[in-house]
Structure 1
Amino acid sequence: MAKLCDSRVFPRFLKRGDRVLRNCSTGSPLLVEDPAANGHVAWLVRDINVSPLSESRLPTSSMEFAMTIEPEALEKLREKHRRWLSRLGIVDKPWLILGSAPSPTIPPDLIGHCARVDVNNAGKTANALGLPPADLTFRKRKKSWEEHPYVRTRGLLWLHTKSIWVMYLKLLAMPHVRYKSLMRATKAEREAIVNAVSGGLPSDIGEVGKVTNGVAALCYALFMGVPSVTLAGFSVTKMGHSYDDKGRIRRQIAEDTFVLRRLSDRGNVFTTELELSEHIGLPFIRDREDIIRNMGGAIGANPAQWKSAQI
C-alpha cells in the first residue's frame, strides 16, 4: 500500500499509469507518495471511481475518461450544443477548421462558403492574414490568453472546469477579447464526443492518450452533424505553430494520426493541406467545388451512422 504524504508538499502532475488512492466515501482525492519524485505527491482527478482506500490507476485511454457520461446525457449535450450552433447560424453550414500548424493553406473561396472554426490560438494567424472574425473558437482551458489576447469570434466554446458564470467573469477581465456567445464544455464531454465519433483510442496508441484540440474540434463538428469539415493548418509531421517562431514540439501525433485515419473515409472530411492528405488519406481539396464533388456518399449526422466511421 502506498504511503500517504503531507498535503503541504507541492504536488506534481499525474501521468497515465500512476497509482493513486481515493476516499470514495467523500469523493475527495488522497495524496500518495511518489517514490520517483523525491517525496512530491500526486492528486487524483475527481471523476474516477475506485473502492475506498484501495489502489487504482489513472485512465490509460480516452475511452476510460469518457465512461462516466451516459448515452442519454451525451445526446442531451448534443441537442443543447446544436441549439446553440443553430442560433449562431452555423450548424447547417460546412465548416473550415483552422489549426495552428505552420503555413496553413486557406483557399479564398472557402471564406464565406464555410463557417470558420479557430482552434485555440489559431485566430492569431487568421488576424495576421486579414481574415474576418471566426464563426466559432474551440478553446482549451489552459491555452494562454497572453499568447493571443485579441480573440475575435462570434461563438466561443471554452473547455473549462468552472461554471459558465465564472467564465463570464474571467472574460470581463480580458477587454481585448471580442465574442458574442459563450458555451462551456468539460474535458470529459470532449473525450466522450471523440469516442462517440471515432470509437476511442486504444491504450497503446501514443504517450498522452488523447487527441489534440484540433482533432477534438473535428469530432465535435461531426458529432453535431455539420454537412462537411475541411481541415486547414493541420499537420502530423510539421513542428511549431503558425502564430509564433518558437518551433515547439507538437505532441499527440500518434493519437491524431490514429483518429484522422479512422475518419478519412467518411466522405465529408477533407483537407487543404496536401502533405496531410498524402500522409493520412483525407481527400485533398483546392476550392469549394472540390468539396461539392467529394460530398457524394458522405456519412450524415444520424447517430446510428457513427459506428460506420470505426474500424
Structure 2
Amino acid sequence: MTVTTRRPFNPSEEQAIAADFPVLAARHAAWLRARGLLDRPWFVLGSAPDPHVPQPFPPGTAHVHVKYAGHAARQYGLPAGDLTFLLAKTTKQQIDGLDLDAVLRLRKRHSLLTRIRRDLPALGGNECALTHRERDAFIIGTLGSLFGVTGSEIRPSNGIALIAYAIAVGIPQIIVAGISLQSDGYAYDPSARIRRHLEEDRAALAVVAARYSEVVTTEPELSRTTGIPLLEGVPAA
C-alpha cells in the first residue's frame, strides 16, 4: 500500500494562487454588499466548546457561522446565521433545523451557474461559491502564506479562512468566538474529536494579531495564545 503525503505549496505556487486576489475580493464584497452584509461588524462563530458570547453585541452585528456552528448558536440563544460557510459535501442532516440566510459554499470548481452568480452579484441569489483555490487565495492575500510548513496540514482551518475572507472584503470589525487552539470536540457535539490544523492556525492567527486591529476575540485563552486583542468589555479571565 502506497501512502501519499501532501506537499505544502512553495512561495512561487502561493503567489500564483493569489494572483487575482484583488479582483476576487472585490467580487465577493459586491455580493455581500447586495445582501446587506458588508458594512457591519461580524461575529464569527466557530464550533469549539464553551464559546464566550459578548453581551451586548455591537449595533448591527452580522452573525457569521463556520460550518455547523449554527447549532451552537441555538444552544446559546443567538440569532440564526446571517451568513454560513458550508462545504460542498454538507448533508441535510448536518444542517437540519438551521435557518440559512446567505451561504458561502466551498466547492472544488465553479459550475456555469456559480460563474453567473459570481459575475452578477446583485442577481446571484443567497448562495455564493468559493473554490478551494479561491479560499487559499484569500488566506495568502491577507496573511501572506498558507503556513503549510508549520504543522502536518497544508493550510489553516476553514475558520481561519473565513477570518481572512472577512479581512479581505473590508469588514470593519471581526469578533471571533468558538475558535480554540487547545480544546477538542464541538460545542454542539460533546464527543471528543482531535482538532486538526492547530499549528497552522496558531501561525496564521499570530499574523492576524500583528496586522489587523479590526480582528478581536471574546476568547481569553485565544487572546493570550495568539495576541489577538479581547473585545472591549470582555474580562481577561
TM-score, length basis structure 2: 0.84
Structure 2 partner of 1:283 = 229
User: Offset at 1:131?
Assistant: 2.1
Structure 1 partner of 2:119 = none
Structure 2 partner of 1:269 = 215
CA deviation map 1:192-231 (0-9, x unaligned):
1101111103442110111101010000000001111110
Task: Find the residue that maps to 2:65 and give its secondary structure.
Answer: strand
1:85 to 32, 39, 50: 32
In the aligned structure 2, how far is the partner of 1:99 from the partner of 1:165?
A: 31
Structure 2 partner of 1:212 = 157
CA deviation map 1:226-267 (0-9, x unaligned):
111110101101111111011111100000000000111321
Q: Residue type of the partner of 1:61?
A: F
Structure 2 partner of 1:114 = 61
Structure 2 partner of 1:61 = 9
Structure 1 partner of 2:185 = 240
Any stretches of 5+ residues in structure 2 without a counterpart? 115-124
> Quick one: structure 1 residues 70 and 100, their matched pair in 2 at CA, closer, same or farther if it must change by over 3 Å?
closer
Any stretches of 5+ residues in structure 1 without a counterpart? 1-10, 18-59, 168-179, 291-311
Q: Does 1:15 align with 2:5?
A: yes
- Counting only pairs closer than 5 Å after superposition, residues 1-150 of structure 1 correspond to structure 2 as 14-17=4-7, 60-61=8-9, 66-69=14-17, 71=19, 73-110=20-57, 113-150=60-97
In the aligned structure 2, how far is the partner of 1:241 from the partner of 1:65?
A: 34
CA deviation map 1:258-304 (0-9, x unaligned):
000011132111100111111111111255xx7xxxxxxxxxxxxxx
> Quick one: structure 1 residues 63 and 150, their matched pair in 2 at CA, closer, same or farther if it must change by over 3 Å?
farther
User: Are 2:65 and 2:81, in contact at CA under 8 Å, matched by a contact in 1?
Assistant: yes
Task: Find the residue that maps to 1:153 and give its secondary structure.
Answer: coil
- Counting only pairs closer than 5 Å after superposition, residues 159-178 of structure 1 correspond to structure 2 as 159-161=106-108, 163=110
Q: Residue type of the partner of 1:16?
A: R
After TM superposition, where is structure 1 displaced by more than 6 Å over at least 4 residues in a row? Answer: none
TM-score, length basis structure 1: 0.65
1:154 to 90, 94, 101: 101
User: Are 1:105 and 1:273, in contact at CA under 8 Å, matched by a contact in 2?
Assistant: yes
CA deviation map 1:83-111 (0-9, x unaligned):
11001112111111000100111113117
Q: Residue type of the partner of 2:29?
A: R
Count, aligned residues: 223
The alignment yields a C-alpha RMSD, in angstroms, of: 2.5
Q: Percent identity?
A: 31
